Chains A and B, each alone.
Chain A
């Protein structure tokens, strides 16, 4: 009974204003966003678009997410990646081929820090199924020999892939969400959407600017406090993707083990960085680089940026809370904390 009164009171308050605002809302309907939330790729996702075709664009985007999830999931027995891992190779479709190509390219470019062949190690640590455990040093050593993209043979012509070693498995987990958000931007474009945004489990990509022409305001999660932000980035037409050891991890004997494994050691990366944000027009690249730079550590990450500053910008946070922001986005980034701006070396 009590609850009913309460609900009624809310409705009452609501109606009061609804009645007064109705006209305004109608005329502004074109500017009202269409939004949908879905759970896919093991995470929460939100797709939002503005404009006349927003409804179709959003539903097509959701279909695309579901399609890619069905293709790339390592756990889904019907997925292409699952079949590939089970059989040690096989023919692949266009999307998978593209992702493989990009993955190998970024693997080379990051000197192996981005590694899709890391999956056997992810399994050993239990990050694949949630049965977390610290593997023995022996088994890690053995599995490390399987985790090398150099042993992936990709026949582009025939769209066929094979693994040189038995037991090798790949996982596009470090790049799939970025690719998905990039694909959604394509879909938005096809529908003539000029203003929209997606968040795929914290992987953000925005299209254009907000309907009123202002920039999107994308906050960066603070790794040590879910109730706080590192800062806010104003941006348009960019992917803003953040990696940190804070979202997925487990503890054993007082030690926290997070899910970003260093392919060089087989252990969770311990580079001194707690959060890496990549800002790039290329969502696929941004996703792959966020983990890669996290593994590299500040110095190497910033060196890498110097060589690729035309492709992306980055926001780094170290264990002691020091913040670094690269030149290209320094002016658009605001933070309560002190920010060290990294300039390009000409």
Chain B
């Protein structure tokens, strides 16, 4: 898991609007590639001439910082008291996907001519590592933060439903420690008390999960205390919350460690003594012979709760890496599996598997996304698209969602106004049918009517006793739809009414409630004379 990506040196191109979407490797000056053990070069020229404030002799300074998985080394070039260039010399173990995102801080530092810049959210450790490495180079200040140990692998990825085992020292410094993790709905904090070197008590101090989930998940606290270890199983039925707790406790225990040491990650759950592991440690990507041009191609597929977008990197006719760039609603557990599928495609150099027997999770969504990306690569190689002008690429296509301002055809325009203009708010009860497993909640939405047209549907939200964080996923799915299924909002705006709206599968109840709410609004917005 994830391991495969670690050893690659994928060529990653930044895509920007207004440029040709995919750049050639040759004419690439801004950001040249990424993380790898051997060498990497990230150069960013100082474009804006901020005033020099670094009282250092011109020259190149080297420094190191602690990234997510290991050390990050940089060279910083100082010219006229300014940072002229920051080059990443080596990255020990950070995931290229995160590290690439993290590299944004280099530009931030250069353009601000300051080391006091914000970290890149979603790549906190890596970007902090880069900043600290630059600090180390220029000020000699050492980065004292320890590498994230195995638990951290889950820490960086929000909402891990899967908990890997970690090595633990078993004895801790007495005291009270606070830790942070990610539950289902967001940050989850715990207080851990260590006494006589043992975990004495754990308390959840803050969470954003449903209280019944937290209640269920709390069973894991006793497990951790009785086992004196966080290597316990998550509570089924409250996987995300309990995984968040484990993560938070690990975070706290990290601070309570008696010795600061770097833990090598030990993600393998399998304790087979003879595990040969020959697939896992594959460090070289097999050479491919794919008929595609080098570049990064994007594709989207449908996961369980929303869309998955992947970036497929093609180099020398080989798929060198597949990065999952965007997901809508799928949990970390699903994504871990999806990543495993992606790794497999990299190994096999094709998507030639229809299904996997024995794998709990369907790989359909991710495979679909990868295939779509490769289909683009195929189209690209045929069409010679790099000659095309950016302006043409920006032309909206029919596949795009209709924008909210889209007008119904004029012939449909009624002669007399039917509805009163205004903003209306409607609330509808969304109650589960026999097969559905959630508590009834109230769904409300604000509908704006102008000139007999529904111009916007906003503030769609759930509330009430039965409303839980999880419901928002369904509400969003119903409102916005997926890449394949048009959302209720778009449909209603398009049809300017509530008739013949297709519900969004997988969010039936929310869809119906939203349609009902709009129907209610239309009813109450009718001009009195029309109502007669």
Is B265's CB within 8 Å of the partner chain A? Answer: no
Is A12's CB within 8 Å of the partner chain B? Answer: yes
Inter-chain residue pair count (beta carbon < 8 A): 204
Residues of A within 8 A of B399 (CB): 14-15, 18
Contact residue among A131, A244, A321 (Cβ-Cβ distance under 8 Å from B276): A321
Residues of B within 8 A of A35 (CB): 302, 364
Is A45's CB within 8 Å of the partner chain B? Answer: yes
Q: Given the known A-B contacts A15-B393, A131-B219, are A228 and B344 also in contact in the complex, defined by CB atoms under 8 Å?
A: yes
Quick check: B364 and A9 within 8 Å, CB to CB?
Answer: no
Per the bound structure, the CA–CA distance linking A216 and B394 in Å amounts to 39
Is B15's CB within 8 Å of the partner chain A? Answer: yes
Quick check: B1 and A227 within 8 Å, CB to CB?
Answer: yes
Q: Given the known A-B contacts A5-B16, A5-B17, are A17 and B506 also in contact in the complex, defined by CB atoms under 8 Å?
A: no
Quick check: A43 and B356 within 8 Å, CB to CB?
Answer: no
Per the bound structure, the CA–CA distance linking A6 and B334 in Å amounts to 24
Contact residue among B17, B272, B356 (Cβ-Cβ distance under 8 Å from A219): B356
CB interface residues, B 325-347, toward A, < 8 Å: 326, 334, 336-337, 339-340, 343-344, 347
Residues of A within 8 A of B219 (CB): 131
Per the bound structure, the CA–CA distance linking A243 and B347 in Å amounts to 24
Contact residue among A13, A22, A217, A233 (Cβ-Cβ distance under 8 Å from B398): A22
Give the interface segment out of B133-141, B229-237, B458-466: B229-237
Give the interface segment out of B185-193, B375-383, B449-457, B492-500: B375-383
Residues of A within 8 A of B339 (CB): 227
Most buried by B among A44, A130, A225, A232: A225
Quick check: B359 and A226 within 8 Å, CB to CB?
Answer: yes
Per the bound structure, the CA–CA distance linking A345 and B319 in Å amounts to 45
Contact residue among B297, B326, B355, B398 (Cβ-Cβ distance under 8 Å from A197): B355
CB interface residues, A 248-285, toward B, < 8 Å: 250-252, 256, 274-275, 277
Is A201's CB within 8 Å of the partner chain B? Answer: yes
Q: Given the known A-B contacts A218-B356, A251-B231, are A12 and B21 also in contact in the complex, defined by CB atoms under 8 Å?
A: yes
Residue of B at shortest CB range from A46? B362
Is A203's CB within 8 Å of the partner chain B? Answer: yes
Quick check: B270 and A251 within 8 Å, CB to CB?
Answer: no
CB interface residues, B 358-379, toward A, < 8 Å: 358-362, 364-365, 375-376, 379
Quick check: B280 and A44 within 8 Å, CB to CB?
Answer: no
Is B4's CB within 8 Å of the partner chain A? Answer: yes
Residue of A at shortest CB range from B274? A320
Residues of A within 8 A of B385 (CB): 16
A339 to chain B, nearest CB (A): 15
Quick check: B233 and A44 within 8 Å, CB to CB?
Answer: no
Residues of B within 8 A of A74 (CB): none
Residues of B within 8 A of A319 (CB): 272, 274
Quick check: B17 and A229 within 8 Å, CB to CB?
Answer: no
Is A289's CB within 8 Å of the partner chain B? Answer: no
Quick check: A202 and B360 within 8 Å, CB to CB?
Answer: yes
Quick check: B298 and A14 within 8 Å, CB to CB?
Answer: yes
Residues of A within 8 A of B280 (CB): 225, 227-228
B189 to chain A, nearest CB (A): 24
Q: Given the known A-B contacts A210-B354, A221-B358, A221-B359, are A227 and B4 also in contact in the complex, defined by CB atoms under 8 Å?
A: yes
Quick check: B358 and A242 within 8 Å, CB to CB?
Answer: yes
Residues of B within 8 A of A15 (CB): 393-397, 399-400
Quick check: B393 and A201 within 8 Å, CB to CB?
Answer: no
A47 to chain B, nearest CB (A): 10
A18 to chain B, nearest CB (A): 5
Residues of A within 8 A of B379 (CB): 17, 20-21
Residue of B at shortest CB range from A70? B435
Quick check: A275 and B397 within 8 Å, CB to CB?
Answer: no
Known: A227-B280, A321-B276. 15 other contacts (CB 8 A): A13-B15, A14-B397, A36-B506, A44-B360, A45-B362, A70-B435, A199-B364, A202-B356, A202-B361, A221-B356, A222-B279, A227-B343, A244-B358, A250-B233, A274-B272
Binding site for B on A (CB under 8 A): 5-22, 35-39, 43-46, 48, 66, 69-70, 78, 129-132, 197, 199, 201-204, 206, 210, 216-229, 232-233, 240-244, 246-247, 250-252, 256, 274-275, 277, 319-321, 336
26 examples of A-B residue contacts, CB within 8 angstroms: A9-B17, A10-B309, A14-B399, A16-B21, A44-B304, A44-B360, A44-B362, A46-B362, A69-B435, A130-B235, A130-B237, A197-B354, A197-B355, A204-B355, A204-B356, A216-B355, A218-B353, A218-B355, A223-B358, A225-B277, A225-B280, A226-B1, A227-B344, A229-B356, A247-B360, A320-B274
Binding site for A on B (CB under 8 A): 1, 3-4, 15-17, 21-22, 165, 219, 227, 231-237, 269-272, 274-277, 279-280, 297-298, 300, 302-304, 309, 326, 334, 336-337, 339-340, 343-344, 347, 352-362, 364-365, 375-376, 379-380, 383, 385, 388, 392-400, 434-435, 505-506
